[in-house]
Structure 1
Amino acid sequence: MSPNESKSGLEIFGNTNIEKDAVARRVKPWRGFLVVFIIAIFLLTALQVSVSSSVSAATSTNRVLTMGYAEFIDSANPWIGLYDVSYIFYSYIYSYLMYPNEDGIQSPNLAKEWWYMNGTVAASLPEPTDFNNRADFPIHNNPADWPTGSIWEYNLTENVYWNDGVPFTADDVEWTFEIQIGPNFMTYWAYQPVTRWIDHVEKVNDYKVRIFFSTYENKTPIPIAWGNCLSVPILPKHAFEGKPSTYVAQQWDGYPAIGTGPLMGTDKLKDEITAKESVTLKRNPWYNFTDEDGVQKGLGAYYHRSMDIDILIMKFFSEEQTQVSSVKTGTIDACEVTAANYLAMKNDPRLPETVKLVSILSPTVYTKISHWNVMEEGTPGGLNPARLDPAIHRASALATNKQGILSGVFKDMGRIGYHIITPVWPQYYWEPGDDEISWFNVTTLEYNSTTGKNETKILYSYHDTLRHVMDYNIQRANEILDAAGYVWDNTTTYHGKHIRKIGPLAAKRLVEMGYASDISSVLGKPLSFEDIIMQENFEDREISKVLQNDFEKIGIDLYENLVNEATWNTEVYSYAFHFTETYWSGDVDPNYLLYVPTSYALWGWNEWGTANKTYDYYYDMQARTLDPVERMHWIAEACKWIYLWSGMMVTVYPSICFALNEIRWTNWGNWTEHPGLAIDHFWGETPFFFHIKWKGVETQQDTTGPIIAGIVVLAIAAAVATVIVLRKRKEKKLLEEEETETSEKEKGGEDKG
């Protein structure tokens, strides 16, 4: 079954040929008018082709939504792609067990309901789990070993079909998760914050599955709080029959893209993604259809979802001004724009009334981050060990002018950042307050002859409320570095700057902390650090300039190294760098983003190199605490740790700015109150799809008739003028010939006489 399609077009037949009369001595009047008529018809026909094409496009029965993006889809494979626009594309094609609605609330999708239980309950259900099955329970085969929350059961939505017409069942869910866990865990990196904790999946029946959760290392059953937020696209098992379990992650190119989502690709999908210009998606006929018995079926039908979109075009722009012009003229219907262009459009009195501007915190929890590489082991030689010193981290954090970055780079479009979870979803947000005092100490070890032991000696200390302890403060940053033993080098410049170097005390401290083998190996090293930046990212380059200026004030040389994306990924994820600029975005539930700085994510998602037992504990507790209030306590502790650690400086929660043109589409909704309506939602069943309404091209005065009439008049006038000119030229030639003949006759008569 497929949507009805209509085609319109215009074909022009025939050929015109004006023959020259080489014999005629006079231009006949009827012939001149014939020339006029033919030229006019030719021009009018050409005009008709243009007008007909425009009218055909404007009155097409397909309701087309065209979206603009500053990135292109880097892979059609949901386990390979990196860009946010790729994840947006996946969410159009594929569906997830559940999805966050416009308010961030996890809502039924491929799973219509879910709940958690313990092993004893699972063993006593009408369709019980067989704990004697050694394939699934090689170690913990006693139901009592599985605590409440370690088993989640999902009832799946019935009468759902893949876009190739094959029914969706529990086999697809079981297979999708099973290929990503166990020995394949490191092969399938894309959804590791979820899959790391999955022990196995049990198919109970065709429309019910149970997912069992345990630790990755020793398979100890553990409760999981976020079993209602498994943001993993479900794939069709039947499309990969006979393939090895690693095929999807290592060999699959993403085609054909068989999903259960509201849209699907055309037969040109592969060529379009390769070309990186635009991708055309059409309505999935199996999403909402009526069978031969008159029964409504499909994922959309079950949840009474309907949309006006027939075709969605994802158009990719390499230059933003072209994208901005396109949304102004209505060539595209919506796009994301930079803060600078947002403000320029907002202050432009000529901005079309149909263009609406929106600025919100992204529903994808988007943050901008500047950070040190703190990986202690396995990093390449030659890296400066001072990058590991907490004194360097705190001093650089105090020298980071977040307000300057927000104002200068993001034009005050956003908020100051504290940690990796933004306030877009308030139920998960923590912000430092004035009700708690925080201390920071610079220390060294000093031998106590009385006790015969090395004891911690405080070299410098300061304290303030949590809200202000990390405030921009150049003086305090210099005091920290002075106390930590980093001395000014006034004899040598680095990139034109006088900076600090590792003095004897700093070298001693680095040895004490285990960051250097001996004092002589680090003594005198300058505090000069490369800031590796993706050359394509303008915002990161501008942030680095702010940091370079302020870091110089505390004796640190930060210099940029612009690289392409491939080099950046290689350097950063192998921990072969000192400092970098980056961003993160993730799921509504904080488990996804809080997973990234854990030791569990080293040599994978964790680009900072953090391996802190205290942070890991906070993460574990938030992941395993079922009570929402108690869980929020642990989420706050994890966020507070990131805020105070200083090695990761979350500088800004940028506002994401959008431009929408309502020439063809309306009812976009209130994104400020409902951030999930924004066009960068990427978890399937995109809410704005089912919200916007088609209104067609705006009604305008019909000027086609007058234009054609005017063109005809002009065409005839031009043709007449052309004929007159030609006629005058020909008459002039005839007169010249007659004069020549008369002259020759007269001359001939004289000769004869």
Structure 2
Amino acid sequence: MTVAVLAVPIASMIGIVGKATAADEERVLKVGFMQKIDSLNPYLGLSDAAYVFYSLVYDYMQSVDNDMNAVPNLATESRIVDVAGFPHGSVWEYDITQNAFWHDGEQVTAEDIAWNFNLNAMGANYTDMWAYQPYMYYAKYAEVMDEDTVRVIYYDRETGEIIPCAYAYLIGTPMVPKHLLGEQSTSYISFQWPGYFANSDPKLVGTGQFKVSSDLISEFTNGDQITLERNENYHWLADRGMEIKFDKLIMYFYDDDTAMKIALEQKQLDVAQFPPNTFRSIEDDIAAGSLQNVDTYSGLKCTQYWTEIAFNMNIAGPNKWRLDPEARHALAQAVNKTYIINNFYKGYGKEGTGLISPVTPFWHWEPSAAEHWDYDLTVAAAALQAAGYIDTNGDGWRECTVTSAAVQNGWSLEGSKLNLQMMIRMEYPEEKEIAKYLQEQWALIGIDLSYDIMLEDVLAKNAYAYGYDSMIWYWSADPDPNFMLFCQSKKSIDGWSDNMYTNPAYEENYSASIREFDETTRQEYVRNCQKISYQDAAYILLAYVYSTYAWRTDTFSGWGDWGADPARSLDAFWTANPLFFDLEYIPQENPPFPWVAVAAGVGVAAAVVVAALYLTRRGKKQREIGGDEGGSPLGD
């Protein structure tokens, strides 16, 4: 009798485990990040993870296709219109889709779009709404022409002159809901709004291909994950016949890249970008056959991403000798970029030169052999000597002498030592190693470098206070060169500029590039800007650091070729990433129990104990590494 009683739950458990079907499964894409979303407010966030999040829940006017060309999004057409008395290219009209709805059910209107432009651009609004200034600096105002058409006039904000605007085909500004924010001040929206609405359903209201879940606030506060749900009414189905074919996307945030690798191995993640060391280990495991059903991609990032040594050009900070271009030229020749890429980025990068990445080769500039800052410590030391930075007391460290520009311009006192402080991001361990290497290298030419490691948001606050010496940081930007070039223009000082750089020749070429519609002529202006920036060495670009992604091929198909189609990368933050429309979930088999049916009588009771123990341990492991799709791989 005991045998019969005990046999029933075993059979029941086997039946329960075996009856799950593909129809019962939620199709969940699980994405790992080594950065966190620093703000839900799209006017406050700085991290790339934040910009990816904004691209999932908001729409921009245009998007970017696989090949990094602008394609319609909320604007189904973007065109120049000729108006009497206005220069050609200064007036643009945008036709707005009639199929887009805010996540709370309100329809998107031309009035919404015009309000968003004017919120960011008109008059004093521009100063408060700093986050999208690279797009809005040249926008004068927007007006509604009819129910689905918005007209925008472009001008030079400094002179008031109406001018052509060559980049107006790609406006990367998230459209936020007027019906919920229209009564708020620009200072509230830009600096105080938490990014959600306490009394709204859902709490965050955009128009993007994903909506936030009811757990948004608690998840964001906890910091481990953000759960997004497919927007079943996304306008691309009506506009373009395209829709997302999975139910949820969960963003998981990690402090430990080893834990993220384990999560990928155990199907707790479908895709993630890994630091160079861990990515190398993943590729090694795949080659050895110990990691299966995982594919990888390493190559130039579609977002123009590069890292740099930045020098603060403000007349502030502890060691102002850095303001001397001759001193910076010497430092540029004391940076072995090849060594840095091979040893700290594990070969996953290309030597940095121009402000525009070679991922957009038409705009990218490369120095000639004569222009290139070659790594040569002997030449670097001689340059410092010639510039008046001399070791006057034989202690191995150089001092500012009376002949140096630092003393002559009043930046440094005669006899002051060539010290330099550098800020380093805690979240990127390879940058600590780079700083340590630079410290050793620069000591060989008489410069005493010290570095401070801090959280990225602390580094950002310090950078934008313009009181530092130097730092290793990064930039991401658009396929169009305007965004990046603006951020090194004087027009972005007290906004996006993180180093207060300006140069009259740079400004002249940048301004000309905005007005120029002939691509070959515009290319010349864009490349001139990069050459001037390179020669000034206010940035020493270290590397165009590669994307280093790994993904599972047994949970989703449709990943595509990221080398041939760079904007499929999860880095892409221009809304409506083409990758998401192609991904298809692969139904999963439930894992079998690790025990075999036991003969009646002798072993049945033991089998039940084993089964219970297995389920208990399995449940604990799920809590430890994330468990079902609703839990975090980081644990409770």
Instruction: Please confirm whether the aligned pair reaches a TM-score higher than 0.5, indicating the same fold.
Output: yes
CA distance in 1, matches of 2:229, 2:150: 31
CA pair 40-362 structure 1, distance change in 2 beyond 3 A: same
Within 1, Cα distance between the matches of 2:462 and 2:93? 41
Match of 1:193 in 2: 134
Aligned to 1:595: 486
Q: Provide the residue aligned with 1:178 in structure 2.
A: 118
Instruction: Give distance in 1, aligned partners of 2:323 and 2:220.
Output: 42
- Of residues 359, 362, 385, the one that matches 2:301 is 362
C-alpha deviations, 1:14-56, integer Å up to 9, x for none? xxxxxxxxxxxxxxxxxxx53x5555556666x55xx846864
Structure 2 SS opposite 1:153? strand
State the Cα distance separating 1:431 from its structure 2 match.
1.6
AA in 2 matched with 1:527: L
1:331 and 2:227 aligned: no
In structure 1, the residue matched to 2:351 is: 416
Corresponding residue of 1:150:
90
Residue of structure 1 in register with 2:623 after alignment: none
**Pick aligned residue for 1:502 from 378, 400, 406:** 400
CA distance, structure 2, for counterparts of residue 282 and residue 429 of structure 1 = 38
Letter in 2 for 1:68: G
Contact 1:97 1:111 in 2 (8 A): yes
CA distance in 1, matches of 2:528, 2:608: 86
Identify if the C-alpha distance between structure 1 residues 55 and 478 changes in structure 2 by more than 3 Å, giving closer, same or farther: farther
Distance of aligned partners of 1:472 and 1:269 in 2 relative to their CA distance in 1, 3 Å threshold: same
Task: Tell me how far apart the structure 1 counterparts of residues 95 and 402 of structure 2 sit (CA, whole Å).
Answer: 65
User: Any residues of structure 2 matched to 1:703-714 within 5 Å, and which?
Assistant: 703=592, 707=595, 709-710=597-598
CA contact (8 A) 1:40 1:715 kept: no
Query: For the structure 1 residues 241 and 373, does the alpha-carbon distance in structure 2 shift closer, same or farther, using more than 3 Å as the test?
Result: closer
Cα separation, 1, equivalents of 2:607 and 2:221? 48
- Identity among equivalent pairs (%): 30
Q: 1:42 to 1:247 in 2, by over 3 A?
A: same
Question: What secondary structure sits across from 1:583 in the alignment?
Answer: strand
Structure 1 residues 55 and 641: CA distance shift in structure 2, 3 A: farther
Q: Tell me: CA distance 1:302–1:398, structure 2 relative to 1, closer, same or farther (3 Å).
A: same
Displacement, 1:570?
Answer: 2.9
Judge conservation of contact 2:334–2:375 (CA < 8 Å) in 1.
yes
In structure 1, distance between residues paired with 2:183 and 2:16: 51
Greater C-alpha radius of gyration: 1
Matches within 5 A, 1:100-119: 100-119=64-83
**Relative to structure 1, is the Cα distance of residues 53 and 527 closer, same or farther in structure 2, using a 3 angstrom cutoff?**
farther
Structure 1: how far apart are the matches of 2:521 and 2:311?
Answer: 32
The equivalent of 1:159 in structure 2 is 99
What CA deviation, in whole Å up to 9, does each residue of 1:513-570 have, x standing for no partner? x344xxxx61100001111223333122122122112111111111112233343223
Match of 2:612 in 1: none
- SS of residue matched to 2:398: strand
2:333 is matched by which residue type in structure 1? Answer: L
2:444 pairs with 532, 549, 553, which one?
A: 553
> C-alpha distance in 1, partners of 2:209/2:458?
36
Q: Which residue of the partner structure matches residue 694 of structure 1? A: 585
Match of 2:427 among 528, 536, 542: 536
Would the aligned equivalents of 1:330 and 1:663 in 2 still touch at CA under 8 Å? no
Aligned runs of 1:474-493 on 2, under 5 Å? 474-492=377-395
Greater alpha carbon shift after TM alignment, 413-422 vs 424-433:
424-433
1:27-176 residue pairs with structure 2 within 5 A?
A: 33-34=1-2, 37-38=4-5, 47=13, 52=16, 56=20, 60-120=24-84, 144=85, 146-176=86-116
How far, CA to CA, are the matches of 2:402 and 2:466 in structure 1? 27
Write the distance in 1 (CA, Å) between the matches of 2:359 and 2:599. Answer: 56
Aligned partner of 1:295 in structure 2 is none
Superposed, 1:113-512 pairs within 5 Å as: 113-120=77-84, 144=85, 146-181=86-121, 182-255=123-196, 256-287=203-234, 298-348=235-285, 349-376=288-315, 379=316, 383-434=318-369, 465-466=370-371, 469-492=372-395, 498-506=396-404, 509-512=405-408
CA separation of 1:42/1:630 partners in 2, compared to 1, >3 Å: closer, same or farther?
same
> TM-score under structure 2 normalisation?
0.90
Contact kept? 1:40, 1:719, Cα under 8 Å: no
Amino acid at match of 1:433: S
- In the alignment, the residues of structure 2 paired with residue 74 and residue 385 of structure 1 have an alpha-carbon distance, to the nearest angstrom, of 31
- Counterpart contact for 2:478–2:484, Cα < 8 Å: yes
Q: Secondary structure at the match of 1:342?
A: helix
Distance of aligned partners of 1:40 and 1:168 in 2 relative to their CA distance in 1, 3 Å threshold: same
Could you say what secondary structure the match of 2:262 adopts? helix
- Check the 8 A contact 1:572/1:607 in 2, yes or no: yes
**Counterpart selection for 1:662 from 531, 546, 553:** 553
Q: Assess if the C-alpha contact under 8 Å between 2:38 and 2:50 holds in 1.
A: yes
The structural deviation recorded for 1:647 is 2.3
Residues 38 and 45, structure 2, Cα contact 8 Å, conserved in 1: yes
Cα deviation, 1:463-509, whole Å, max 9, x if unaligned, reads: xx22xx311011111111111111114454xxxxx211112322xx3
Matched residue of 1:638: which SS?
helix
CA shift at 1:695, angstroms? 2.4
User: Against the structure 1 CA distance between its residues 336 and 206, is the aligned structure 2 distance closer, same or farther, given a 3 Å change threshold?
Assistant: same
Verify the 8 A CA contact 2:83 2:91 in the aligned structure 1.
yes
Q: Which amino acid aligns with 2:400?
A: I
Maintained 8 Å contact 1:388/1:515: no
What residue identity is the alignment partner of 2:292? E
Q: Which amino acid aligns with 1:688?
A: L
* 1:740 match: none
Paired amino acid for 1:334: V
Shift of 1:243: 2.6
Which runs of 5 or more structure 2 residues have no equivalent in the other structure?
197-202, 610-636
Aligned to 1:735: none
Secondary structure at the residue paired with 2:451?
Answer: strand
Compared with structure 1, are the counterparts of its residues 524 and 272 closer, same or farther at alpha carbon in structure 2 (3 Å cutoff)?
A: same
Deviation (angstroms), 1:103: 0.5
Tell me the amino acid that sits aligned with residue 528 of structure 2: E
State whether residues 112 and 155 of structure 1, in contact with CA within 8 Å, keep that contact through their aligned partners in structure 2. yes
Question: Partner residue of 1:744?
Answer: none
Aligned position for 2:615: none
Aligned partner letter, 1:147: P
1:709 partner SS: coil
Matches for 1:489-638 after TM superposition, within 5 Å: 489-492=392-395, 498-506=396-404, 509-512=405-408, 514-516=409-411, 522-638=413-529
* Cα RMSD for the two superposed structures: 2.4
Contact 1:163 1:285 in 2 (8 A): no
Flag the 1:53–1:426 CA change in 2: closer, same or farther, 3 A. Answer: farther
Following superposition, the deviation at residue 710 of structure 1 comes to 3.6
Could you tell me the TM-score, scaled by structure 1's length? 0.76
**Structure 1: distance between partners of 2:31 and 2:17:** 22
Deviation at 1:611, TM superposition (A): 2.0
Q: Work out which of the residue numbers 540, 554, 558 in structure 2 matches 1:649.
A: 540
